[in-house]
Amino acid sequence: MTTITKAFFESLDAADPLAPLRGQFDLGDTLYFNGNSLGPPPRSARDRLRQVVESQWRAGLARGWDMHDWLHLPERVGDRIARLIGAAPGEVVAGDSTSVCLFKLAAAALQSTERAQVVTDEANFPTDLYVLSGLREITGRRIEVLRRPVDRIAASVSGQTALVTLTHVNFKTSRMHDMPALTAAAHDHGALILWDLSHSVGAVPLALNACGADLAVGCTYKFLNGGPGAPAFSFVAQRHHQRLLPMLRGWMGHASPFQFSGEYTSASDSRRYAVGTPEVLALSSVDASLEVFDGIDMTVVREKSVRMSGLLMELIEHECGEFGMEIATPTDPAQRGSHVAVRHPEACTIMQALIAENIIGDFRTPDLMRFAIAPLYLRYADLLELVAALRKTVETRPWESDVFRRRATVT
Ligand SMILES: *Cc1c(COP(=O)(O)O)cnc(C)c1O
């Protein structure tokens, strides 16, 4: 067991190369363990939003499209994200929500083959499963969707499989799939693979091209801190740009949108996966949030994340195990992402009581508390405070009082 002394945790903070970044987030006294749901705004994003509204939108009006090159924000933001996910410039386009991006890429993949089977993880994020169920109904072919347990994915892929689609880090347990191995398993059977990076990007180093991944989508409002509802991104490996046709066709994916032609001619690069007008304010916010990652080595971020999540699990077991709290996250660092999930029958109430103390994590039904580890702004010492509060909360049995009966709809 690690020495649980304040001095030990403070010494880790003193030696942390990422510690200066916290100043960019103005978190005050809040202990924020919810960065996998909504990242806090870095100063760069707040400044940029003010500036874009005032000097670009108000002063420039429609001239902004030219003056500030708003039209190419999806590619500019995409190129910044590319560095974080091991993609090349020109392979990532930002825009639309993760759900819509997933639909776009899965539809393109299914259209490109005669095969009609999709393999996915039964514990996948619900939106990913809903998107597949919709696709099954509209393609006019009998698309079969196999939802398989996490350990049976590779064995379920066959010569019938068109597409394997997985979320890299599970939103509940934080369990992380082996991306190189599963990508290879899909390719061994001639299938494409589509990764949802929502819970990894910005926290886990990613190497899409190094492992030959075909397609990916991801979220920018979690560990990338892009802002509530900030647009998602789509990655299509360069080698597929000619072959994978967009099925959700909009004018922004046209080769020459401003010709206003009645006939659709798809752009030949990744821009073909764009659909409608770029979300200028939201993309500007994402662009500025990504500045925080400039010059940051993701392996350093990952080292801190693994160390923090390991310490947090140890502390919780040590301090709260006797109160029936169980760790639901893999203890093997190679199999976990960047949050810790803790099971307790009264998880919902305990989390509400913590939030009332300005310690913010979240609850996932039926019995999970999630604590995100966002290495850019969390301190090792925060873990000690969190666990002390967690112990104190569970000791007071808040579920026996009426104060926390009402559950917020979004936590
Ligand atoms: C957060 C998350 C999403 C979000 O989808 P939106 O359409 O952007 O709301 C999708 N998939 C996964 C795995 C997520 O964690």
Same domain, 135 and 73: yes
Residue 27 counted as domain residue? yes
In total, how many domains does the chain have? 2
Please enumerate in sequence order all residues whose Cβ is within 8 A of that of 358, keeping only pairs 6 or more positions apart, or say none.
29, 30, 31
Q: What is the C-alpha to C-alpha distance for residues 402 and 388, in angstroms, rounded to an integer?
A: 23
pLDDT at residue 137 greater than cutoff 80 = no
Same domain, 265 and 302: no
Q: What pLDDT sits at residue 141?
A: 78
Å from CA of 363 to ligand 1 middle? 16
pLDDT at residue 1 greater than cutoff 60 = no
Catalytic site residue 392? no
By mean pLDDT, which of 48-52, 147-151, 394-398, 402-406 is the weakest? 402-406
Same domain, 74 and 218: yes
Catalytic site residue 115? no
pLDDT at residue 21 greater than cutoff 60 = yes
Atom nearest to 219 CA in ligand 1 = 8
pLDDT tens track for 67-76: 999 999 999 9
**Beta-carbon-side half-sphere exposure of residue 10 (alpha carbons within 13 Å):** 3
Share of the chain above pLDDT 70, in %: 97
Ligand 1: residues with CB < 6 A are 97-99, 125, 127-128, 167, 171, 196, 198-199, 219, 232
pLDDT at residue 405 greater than cutoff 70 = no
DSSP string, 152-179: GHHHH--TTEEEEEEESB-TTT-BB--H
Same domain, 70 and 199: yes
Tell me which residue has its CA closest to atom 15 in ligand 1: 198
The active-site residue, picked from 9, 32, 103, 125, is 125
Q: What pLDDT sits at residue 329?
A: 98
Å from CA of 127 to ligand 1 middle? 7
Residue 409 counted as domain residue? no
Q: What pLDDT sits at residue 139?
A: 66
pLDDT tens track for 271-289: 999 999 999 999 999 999 9
Give me the CATH number covering residue 158: 3.40.640.10
Q: Which of 237, 263, 293 is the last residue of a domain?
A: 293
Q: How confident is the model at residue 195 (pLDDT cuts 50, 70, 90)?
A: very high
Structure tokens at 283: 């993309």
Q: How confident is the model at residue 320 (pLDDT cuts 50, 70, 90)?
A: very high
Strand arrangement, sheet containing 233-236: 92-94, 233-236, 215-218, 192-196, 161-167, 117-121, 144-148
Q: Are 131 and 105 in contact (CB under 8 A)?
A: no
DSSP-derived pairing of the beta strands 233-236 and 326-327: unpaired
Domain range enclosing 308? 6-32+297-400
Q: What is the mean pLDDT of the chain?
A: 95
Q: Which of 232, 258, 293 is the last residue of a domain?
A: 293
Pocket test for ligand 1, best of 98, 132, 168, 225 (most atoms within 8 A of CB): 98
Catalytic site residue 235? no
Tell me which residue has its CA closest to atom 1 in ligand 1: 198
Q: Are 330 and 172 in contact (CB under 8 A)?
A: no
Q: What is the C-alpha to C-alpha distance for residues 252 and 273, in angstroms, rounded to an integer?
A: 8
Q: Which of 245, 267, 293 is the last residue of a domain?
A: 293
Structure tokens at 256: 């020459």
